[in-house]
Amino acid sequence: MAVVEQLLRSEADETISFGNHALAHKAKLEDFVHSGDIYKVKTYATMTKLEKNGMFLYESVPGTSVNHFCETEKGVEFTVEGNSDAQITLGMSDDTEYEVFVAGSSVGKMKTGLGGKLSISVELEAAGEVLVKVVEA
């Protein structure tokens, strides 16, 4: 398991990695600067949450570890792992349709509402790392 011991870190490929689903108690890191943006993460076994510039970006229940989280104008891509299946909510663009890929397979198209939140379920138990990609349709 590749938990993020530092809670939040910049990677050499200009992505970020965050979260530690192995923690028994809640931990947080604030004011982390990456590419001119300010990030805040809260994480432990039951929840992982990431904010960017004070805005919601990612939340999972239960907690997860996320590696190589990459945002583009058209969506996000990251690798996620955890001890059990997770419900992941992403902060995306308002009123936009996205195609969601989990472990390389399309799980369908989903549309965000006015709040821009997109929720997906990812089977993680005994799966190791799972690649998630969400792209504007």
Beta bridge partners of 58: 50, 90
Question: Any idea where the domains of the chain sit in the sequence?
Answer: 8-136
At 12-60, the pLDDT tens digits run 999 999 999 999 999 999 999 999 999 999 999 999 999 999 999 999 9
Peptide bond into 62 cis (omega under 30): yes
CATH fold group of domain 8-136? Chondroitinase Ac; Chain A, domain 3 (2.60.220)
pTM of the model: 0.94
pLDDT by residue (tens digit) across 84-132? 999 999 999 999 999 999 999 999 999 998 999 999 999 998 778 999 9
